Structure 1
Amino acid sequence: MSGPGWISLDGRAREVLREQDGIAHVGAFDAAEITRRQLGALRGRGVLERPRTGWYVDPELPWQVKIAVRVGGVTTCVTAAELWGLPVPPESYRHVHVLVDEHDGRLRHSRNSSWVLATVEDDPRVELHWSRRHDRTTAGRTSLVDTLLLLVGCVPEAWFIAALDAALHRPRDGRPILDATEYGRFAELIPRRLRHLIDQAEPSAESCLETLLRLAMIRRGIGPIVLQAQPHPAHRVDFLLRGRLIVEADGEAFHDSERDRIRDAELVAMGYVVLRFDYRRIVFDIERVLDEIEAALADLDA
């Protein structure tokens, strides 16, 4: 095939993938009059990949999606939540969570699609979910509503609320990931016994660390807590306790240490006490973090 011929074939194959959200059955290529031999050549050229017999994917799709296709499903739960940009617990990365049809018995191993899974335990890399989908999938991941419905049963409550906060948060220059209509559907579908978690959501939270720390302080009985307080027109802080103690939850992606140092000095000069806690401490050492906050409050009262 000549150069122009390859360019045309590549374009037709990519168009099929675009129409199918990056994951297409061989039948879609048949309909586009792309032969099996041409599909083999397209694989060799890196235009598409075949993770499972009869299924082709865009090479740019996340590796987790390719594993899900190889197994015979789509990413869901913590894996889909991560792909949607929601926070998940650090230990969640050990498995790829895959949603499969409730009665699907043709599942394959994540490393080799020729290996048939006899039991769930046959593939330690994969966490399987058998559940119905309420919405269509998007690029190999369950919808945000379906993702949250499964996530609530897979992670600690605080992490689920952190994910819900992130989904509802409206950035200054954009829209929330979960819009009002989707949130309404989610609230209707979540089991009644878990609806109290929705009441604990706080869309103003700007990071999972803020949510985790807020929930931990409430659990310990620390308060009252003012969220996103503004003790000075030029400074907004994560938490203000008893009018004088400022508590900041620092994620490395959002904080400049030198700028924070200057700002803290200005706030201290105004009479505030400032405590900062990073990801490692909030996620792995939360009880000692709470102890330090309580000690600082006690010093204020002394």
Structure 2
Amino acid sequence: MDTTALLVWVRERAGVAHSADARAAGFTDHCVRTAVQSGTLRRVRRCWLVSPDCDARRVAAAAVGGRVSCVTAASLWGLWTPSHEGIHVAVAPAASRFDAAGIRVHWSVGPVPVVRTSAQEPAINMLFHVARCLPRAEALAVWESALKRRLVDAAVLTRVRWRSARARELADVATVLADSGVESIFADLMRRVGVPLQQQVWIDGHPLDGLIGRHLALQLDGFAHHSSAKDRRRDLRADARLVLPGYTVLRFDYQQVLFDKHHVTEAVLTAIAQGLHR
């Protein structure tokens, strides 16, 4: 096999692979050396091969002998994630301790066994680390994003032996109803204060993020929302369409739901106290 075939093989594995797996796939040591010497591939930490276009986060994980995990892996899968810093990497519990700038290490073992040469973190293990790493509401939002994208199945999650009380709890409550992480966090906030919330309700042929009772409508704006005047006008039309037949509309944005939960809760409970949901 030539170096071009080896490059294609590595790219099929998200741009990073262990040299032992390359040998098992039929590539000779000579082929690997030639690919590295020619610049077709780069060798990282002696045994890891990365393609020139490999995501920098995966390269950083390989450089410490681990796999991208937690919110970093979730982001690479295209899931909703909260704002976060650093590259989250899962390593074997017996791996050597190290101090690498910008790396957040996860030493715990996920439910799915992973061989040391694997460069990919299983989705279930990613969720396991998310559950242990993030605040509950944000972790739930990532889990529900994974369900919504069909990366995992809810029935499977409830049967996994999680080794984590938080993960078991999330497996029991996660649903596919939320369309975004903000909606997941808001729904969890309402559950925790005892407010029944209907998610993804359609009224007069238009979607509504949430409905409390019969007339308290909730609209939730994501992190990138209102990027233009056109978006703002669309929201105003949607709110007016709800107000005219008698709905009360409460609209909250990403910053409020994630970082000003007291205000959000107080506004909803005050509206209920006034009977605006009836």
TM bin (shorter chain):
0.7 to 0.9
Q: What is the CA deviation profile of residues 223-250 of structure 1, one whole-angstrom value per residue up to 9, with x for unaligned ones? A: 3322222232x11211111211101111
The match for 1:53 among 41, 46, 58 is 46
**What is the aligned partner in structure 2 of residue 126 from structure 1?**
103
* Equivalent AA in structure 2 for residue 239 of structure 1: G
Q: Note if contact 1:51-1:67 (Cα within 8 Å) is conserved in structure 2.
A: no
Measure how far apart 1:177 and its partner are.
Answer: 1.4
1:23 aligns with 2:16: yes
1:39 aligns with 2:33: no
5 Å matches for 1:198-237? 198-221=171-194, 223-232=195-204, 234-237=205-208
The match for 2:87 among 96, 111, 121 is 96
**What is the aligned partner in structure 2 of residue 183 from structure 1?**
157
Measure how far apart 1:147 and its partner are.
Answer: 0.9
CA distance in 1, matches of 2:257, 2:207: 20
* Equivalent AA in structure 1 for residue 86 of structure 2: H
CA distance in 1, matches of 2:128, 2:42: 31
Change (3 A) 1:21 1:240: closer
Q: Note if contact 1:144-1:178 (Cα within 8 Å) is conserved in structure 2.
A: yes
Change (3 A) 1:124 1:34: closer
Q: Note if contact 1:84-1:144 (Cα within 8 Å) is conserved in structure 2.
A: no
CA distance in 2, matches of 1:236, 1:100: 43
- Structure with larger Rg: 1
Q: Which runs of 5+ in 2 are unaligned?
A: none
**What is the aligned partner in structure 1 of residue 136 from structure 2?**
157
TM-score by length of structure 2 reads 0.82
Q: Note if contact 1:65-1:141 (Cα within 8 Å) is conserved in structure 2.
A: no
Q: Which sits farther off after the overlay, 234-243 or 187-196? A: 187-196
CA distance in 1, matches of 2:255, 2:144: 20
CA distance in 2, matches of 1:103, 1:131: 10
Q: What is the CA deviation profile of residues 262-293 of structure 1, one whole-angstrom value per residue up to 9, with x for unaligned ones? A: 12111111111111111111111111112222
* Equivalent AA in structure 2 for residue 98 of structure 1: V
Measure how far apart 1:15 and its partner are.
Answer: 2.7
Secondary structure at the residue paired with 1:230? strand
1:282 aligns with 2:236: no
Q: Which runs of 5+ in 1 are unaligned?
A: 1-7, 106-118, 171-175
1:238 aligns with 2:209: yes
Q: Note if contact 1:89-1:155 (Cα within 8 Å) is conserved in structure 2.
A: no
Change (3 A) 1:235 1:139: farther
Q: What is the CA deviation profile of residues 166-208 of structure 1, one whole-angstrom value per residue up to 9, with x for unaligned ones? A: 11126xxxxx111367535xx3221373423322212111111
Q: Note if contact 1:229-1:236 (Cα within 8 Å) is conserved in structure 2.
A: yes
CA distance in 1, matches of 2:64, 2:130: 20
Q: Which sits farther off after the overlay, 287-296 or 208-217? A: 287-296
Change (3 A) 1:61 1:254: farther
Change (3 A) 1:283 1:62: same
TM-score by length of structure 1 reads 0.76
Q: What is the CA deviation profile of residues 38-75 of structure 1, one whole-angstrom value per residue up to 9, with x for unaligned ones? A: 5222x2xxx43333334221232221111010011111
Change (3 A) 1:52 1:196: closer
CA distance in 2, matches of 1:281, 1:182: 33
* Equivalent AA in structure 2 for residue 236 of structure 1: P
Q: Percent identity?
A: 32
Secondary structure at the residue paired with 2:105? strand
CA RMSD of aligned residues (A): 2.9
* Equivalent AA in structure 2 for residue 263 of structure 1: A
Runs of 4+ in 1 over 6 A off after TM superposition: none
Secondary structure at the residue paired with 1:177? coil
Change (3 A) 1:125 1:12: same
**What is the aligned partner in structure 2 of residue 112 from structure 1?**
none
Change (3 A) 1:215 1:63: same
State the aligned residue count: 266
CA distance in 2, matches of 1:291, 1:240: 16
CA distance in 2, matches of 1:103, 1:253: 41
Secondary structure at the residue paired with 1:229? strand
